Amino acid sequence: MRSARCVTERGRRVRRRAADGAAVVDFVLVLIVLVPLFLGIFQVALVLHVRNTLTAAASEGARYAATVDRPLGAGEARTRGQISGALAERFARSVHAHAATVHGAPGVEVDVSAAVPALGLWGPAVELHVSGHAVEEVAP
């Protein structure tokens, strides 16, 4: 009987040894799926944040340039200041304001073009083109 116990104990030990390291393998397999998923979600969030910030800055610059007695250059400067303050100066390199027709009324349009890196802060860039519109105010 004693030898049967030893076999059982030895069998348990062998089984326990076979399972050693399985947690590490499982952890690595899960990381292979989760890390790219997390980085992809992070990248989409980064691009959306930059796009929304550029759109808001372009709209603010257009509204600023559309007020009475303000030149178009003031709208460009306002847009550049908004972008530089919220993101980085490199996103404010291509800002252009021009007169436009907004729903049949005279207005101002501010266009912003920027490149957002596709891999976090490095890598090939995704080009974003956004614009903001505002109807010009007329002096009384």
- Whether residue 140 lies inside any domain: the answer is no
pLDDT in tens, 58-90: 999 999 999 998 999 999 999 999 999 999 999
Structure tokens at 55: 């759109």
- Whether residue 76 lies inside any domain: the answer is yes
Residue 101 has pLDDT above 60, yes or no: yes
Please name which of 43, 103, 95 lies closest in space to residue 73, comparing C-alpha atoms.
95
- Whether residue 52 lies inside any domain: the answer is yes
Amino acid code (one letter) for 69: D
- Whether residue 67 lies inside any domain: the answer is yes
- Whether residue 45 lies inside any domain: the answer is yes
Distances (CA, A) of 62 to 40, 80, 90, 118, 139: 33, 12, 20, 28, 17
pLDDT of residue 40: 87
Q: What is the DSSP letter of 137?
A: P
Is residue 140 very low, low, confident or very high in pLDDT (cuts 50, 70, 90)? Answer: confident
The boundaries of the domain holding residue 76 are 2-135
pLDDT in tens, 5-39: 444 555 555 555 666 678 888 899 999 999 999 98
CA distance 42 to 65: 35
CA distance 46 to 51: 9
Number of folded domains that form the chain: 1
Q: Identify the burial level of 128 via C-beta atoms within 10 angstroms of its C-beta, where 0-12 means exposed, 13-18 middle and 19 or more buried.
A: middle
